Homo-oligomer: A and B are copies of this chain.
């Protein structure tokens, strides 16, 4: 039996890999993009290029949208010569771009309003980068009706690793919400990489010394390890992940948070610093290059002269900074997950082994979940140690006039727990 034809809109870094992978799996894929070189690449890889959205959608029982944003998706889907008008009855339409959940919900509503609720719509953003897109081993977070999943789940499975397809309860919007919650960790932890290397540099630590101290320690994060090579080699031009990419996701979080009237203080802080990086002209550079806000010298050239003991003390300051940030990031992400009704066990499972993972998240997630589920209200004054250590790091940073945007934000949140100093009070900041 021949495999079904698939329409595909958006052949960027991610989309091209995803579409090409489907071609390799034996599907007939018609791909649309506005950028001719992408179409050429796709054609060379065996795909069917199309310069018309209608054409790419005509007669396709399955259609995937992987453009950069809601702003691009909206006209692609709903213009007169757009995708939806050309789709046959009963098509499965999968929106895989990272968009606000409110946008995914607006697509569902608009399909209904224009009498096209015959379309089986799935909200399914992805995570994992261009390499995993091309391998068909992405992490996919999908929300939809049961009927839509019955139609389209197999196709999601084609694009994801076996344990990385997360079907999120709650319908359209919950895929996007799951992604948003994951990106809370990413948004904070990507800036934390630069803040840590920057603080290290200002302390006189070589980048190598910082990376050796952090990787494998309880200050570890996936982002830190992932960005380290680019940081040490100043591989920012363009590097692998532009500032504008994480900024886009960060802005989705803070936009949604404002709509929900829900505080996401560390994400907001991160967003302002990303804006500042864009203002410096670094938007298209790798996000690891944000460390240049702290040092114009390459971090791998820095060589302070101090004893082994002094070096270790400075390394400890950097680790304590990261641990404090990662702990509060976990609280910010999981409390938002709870607020938007994402199953907590599921987001924990997803994030701990994904790009949002950190040792703090892995260790403290299981302590936070019962609090958020109302099954536990204290784990003792465990924040005392974090406060003390972050306090020391910030004293030192202040003495050398080193900005620590996230570190100071994290301490303010930890201190607001007042005398109780427990996780419940930290989470209450978000959930009260």
Give residues in A with beta carbon < 8 Å to B: 247, 251, 254-255, 257-258, 261-265, 268-269, 271-273, 275-276, 278-279, 293-294, 387, 391, 394-395, 398, 401-405, 408-409, 411-413, 415-418, 429-432
| Cβ contact within 8 Å between B398 and A263 | no
Q: Could you say which residues of chain B place their CB within 8 Å of the CB of A415?
A: 257, 261-263
Counting every copy of the chain, the complex holds 2
Q: Could you say which residues of chain B place their CB within 8 Å of the CB of A263?
A: 411-413, 415-416
Indicate which residue in B265, B269, B403, B404 contacts A279 across the interface (CB closer than 8 Å): B403
The smallest beta-carbon distance between A131 and chain B, in angstroms, is 29
| Cβ contact within 8 Å between A276 and B276 | yes
In the complex, A314→B419 CA distance in Å? 43
| Cβ contact within 8 Å between A258 and B418 | no
In the complex, A367→B431 CA distance in Å? 26
Q: A272-B404, A276-B403, A408-B268 are in contact. Are A416 and B429 (CB under 8 A)?
A: yes
Q: Could you say which residues of chain B place their CB within 8 Å of the CB of A412?
A: 263-265, 268
| Cβ contact within 8 Å between B293 and A276 | yes
> What is the chain B residue whose CB lies nearest that of A247?
B401
In the complex, A278→B401 CA distance in Å? 8
If over half of A's interface residues share one DSSP class (helix, strand or loop), that class is named, otherwise mixed; here it is: helix
| Cβ contact within 8 Å between A387 and B275 | no
A262-B415, A271-B398, A279-B294 given; name 20 further pairs at CB < 8 Å: A247-B401, A254-B398, A254-B408, A255-B395, A255-B398, A258-B395, A258-B411, A261-B391, A269-B405, A272-B404, A272-B408, A275-B402, A275-B403, A276-B276, A276-B293, A276-B403, A278-B401, A279-B401, A416-B429, A418-B432
> What is the chain B residue whose CB lies nearest that of A417?
B432
The smallest beta-carbon distance between A265 and chain B, in angstroms, is 4
Q: Could you say which residues of chain B place their CB within 8 Å of the CB of A271?
A: 398, 403, 408
Q: A391-B258, A429-B416 are in contact. Are A401 and B275 (CB under 8 A)?
A: yes
> What is the chain B residue whose CB lies nearest that of A262?
B415
In the complex, A430→B418 CA distance in Å? 8
